[in-house]
Amino acid sequence: MRICFTADQSKGLDSVLSYHFGHCPYFVIVDVDEMGTVKNVESIPNPLMGEHAPGELPAFMKSKGVNVIITGGMGPKAQQYFASYGIQTIVGAYGRVRDVLEEYLQKKINYIPSTTEETHPEEQAENDEVARLKKEVAFLREEIADLKTILKKLEERLK
């Protein structure tokens, strides 16, 4: 299976996930075997960064053999293009690629399954964005708490 993650950096599994599919600077493509073992990791620049070319990135992912794409956010049109290629999309993800991959492989992923419904795309996008922001705030609070604990331990060592 080939899983593609949107990324803000070109650091492979250590990259931070990008929050929007079409605007990400990099893609991290991970090959995983049936046992969930990572076989290959490839970081590639977004060939259409800064351009608006509907359908071209989904076609590019199809040409790369991608089966699943995981990202922070994606519009309904892009989701439709991916669905037409048989590529599963998962939105609402955040964190480091390594951690998100582990959650996905362990089926612990609690992200918003993408939808291709066209009933109210603006409302759906707004709801998805609000849900993503709530998760991001919770994640950042946890990170701040962890950093505070580390800082406290360092201060104790310096005394």
- Digit-coded pLDDT (tens) for 108-143: 775 555 554 444 455 555 666 777 777 777 677 567
Q: Percentage of the chain surpassing pLDDT 70?
A: 84
Compute the average pLDDT of residues 26-45.
96
Distance CA 70, CA 19 (A): 10
Q: What is the structure's pLDDT at 27?
A: 97
CATH number for the domain spanning 32: value is 3.30.420.130
Q: What is the structure's pLDDT at 145?
A: 65
- The range of the structural domain enclosing residue 121 comes to 2-158
Question: Using an 8 Å Cβ cutoff, are 74 and 89 in contact?
Answer: yes
Q: Residue 4 above 50 pLDDT?
A: yes
Structurally, the chain folds into a number of domains equal to 1
Q: What is the structure's pLDDT at 20?
A: 81
Q: What is the structure's pLDDT at 114?
A: 52
Q: What is the structure's pLDDT at 118?
A: 45
Q: What is the structure's pLDDT at 142?
A: 64
**More reliable by pLDDT, 75 or 147:** 75
Question: Using an 8 Å Cβ cutoff, are 67 and 87 in contact?
Answer: yes
Q: What is the structure's pLDDT at 117?
A: 47
**More reliable by pLDDT, 64 or 138:** 64
Identify any residues that bridge with 27 across adjacent strands, giving them in sequence order.
6, 44
Q: What is the structure's pLDDT at 155?
A: 85
Write phi, then psi, for 79 (nearest 5 degrees): -60, -40
